[in-house]
Amino acid sequence: MAKVAVFIADGSEEVEAITPVDLLRRAKIDCDVVSVMEGNTVTASRGIVITADKNIKDIDFADYDMLVLPGGIKGTENLGSTKALTDAVTEFAGSGKGIAAICAAPTIFSGLGLLAGKEATCNPGFFDVLEKEGAQVDKNAPVVRSGNIITSQAMGTSHDFGLEIVKYFAGEEAASSLKSNIRF
């Protein structure tokens, strides 16, 4: 059975973090919310307090099939400065395991050299960052999947992002069924 870790930090964008978790759990895909901060409680970008299921210090990355990074400027900075996470993201990308990021967070992937020559997207304010690192940026797609890498534009594409992750593990039919059942 597939297992996903969604990482959060102080400053993570709430909707981008929680929407994929909600959709994965509705699709019966095992999903942990993992804090990279000292404790399990983080204050997200709009001041909403989120309590993670686990802390990065207490997980084994080998237990997971995909690592998901929400955006938010400060959240992206905090995630990107967490060496254990960036090392795991690099290892996952290289081994063909799934990685996904939305909004500003795809800049973490590009900064690690993981998007060079690959199609990707991100928040429009960061298109140039991805292009500078060699990504082929699709400026119109809300979500782009390039092999084992999923990227998405921003908070408004969170549902599409979550559904693409569901599709990655459970297929098109499962994602379509979920979408029609929750009516958005």
Q: Which of 103, 108, 165, 166 is catalytic?
A: 103
Q: Is 31 a catalytic residue?
A: no
Nearest to 98 by CA among 10, 51, 29, 181: 29
Helices 172-182 & 158-170 angle (0-180, nearest 10)? 140
C-alpha 85/C-alpha 79 separation (Å) is 7
Backbone angles phi, psi at 152, to 5 degrees: -145, 160
Q: Which two tokens stand for residue 131?
A: 């292009």
113 backbone φψ class: left, alpha, beta (φ>0; ψ -120 to 50): left
Please identify which residue in the block is written with the tokens 């990655």.
168
Catalytic residue numbers, as ranges:
103
